[in-house]
Chains A and B, each alone.
Chain A
């Protein structure tokens, strides 16, 4: 079920939030609308935590995580680290890592089983990722871009990648990740997929600029529509109608 939201009039949702199967991190914004949108969908299932990283609001691009753990850059303050450790369930391992490439959300893309990383990542960091997140790590590029974390978003059920990814690349990535992949855009043609949306196994949040076509692509590749026909019609109506006049 994909929802369209905005963070303080900005459509780049994936920058200000991080959504996984076990928790959701949200940036501290001026108004509570952003937080409420996540709370309305998720609060009875997973903890929704308001946080900052290194005093900034761009938390989605700085941290990376899945249901097993959360990795934070070295710029994270001790107080933020403690706050996250207190708010997240005990099965999630919270770890701060010392890495030159500190925007982990841009360098690493992961789901619960596999992670794609920036080709220049440290060996020690790679081992930490495999250990904390419990994933198999592959160094890859997407459409020639080394920032894999920004140009693709994938979950355990599907993935969306940069629109200029060639078909061979798409097939190769698909076999590596073992999930169906589609090359598409978000937020009216933005190529930076992971910055424009955030997704987990059962929900997705996109920027409000996302067109109905993009939304239907997202819902189909991430398998967000439930089976019932009535639900399908309702969902399709929501994604096909941009606004009520």
Chain B
């Protein structure tokens, strides 16, 4: 089981939700809900649709570059299971999430402060 990202809005797709579309060139598109799926069928570009993460990242509304995002990257070369490492990782995950949220909030407050 893997928590995937919606192709259109970039939110997480949990098990039991959404639709997965496989195109003839073997590219897989996952959608979190029918809203995103229908927008995709209408051939809308997510970079131009205001409420998607793609638009917000492109137009600098949301934080894009940060070291906290590196932790979530998909890895293709696994490491041998080590109990201590797993324990430390599980302890660190909520801390990292908290830090990431703080930084995202900061980014938005800074942006709004700059506007004024």
Contacts and interface: CB of A to CB of B under 8 A. Distances in A.
A95 B81 contact: no
Nearest to A85: B78
Q: Which of the four size classes fits the interface of chain B? A: 10 to 19
B26 A100 contact: yes
A96 B26 CA distance: 17
A64 interface: no
A216 interface: no
Contacts, number: 26
Contact of A94 (B1, B26, B78, B81): B78
A97 B77 CA distance: 9
B72 interface: no
Given A100-B25, A100-B26, A94 B77 contact: yes
Contact of B80 (A85, A96, A97, A98): A85
Interface in B1-40: 1-2, 25-26
Interface stretch (A76-84, A115-123, A228-236): A76-84
B102 interface: no
B79 A97 contact: no
B65 interface: no
Interface string B68-85: 000000001111110000
23 contacts: A77-B1, A77-B2, A78-B2, A81-B78, A82-B78, A82-B81, A85-B78, A85-B79, A85-B80, A85-B81, A86-B80, A86-B81, A90-B80, A93-B77, A94-B77, A94-B78, A95-B76, A95-B77, A96-B76, A96-B77, A97-B76, A100-B26, A102-B26
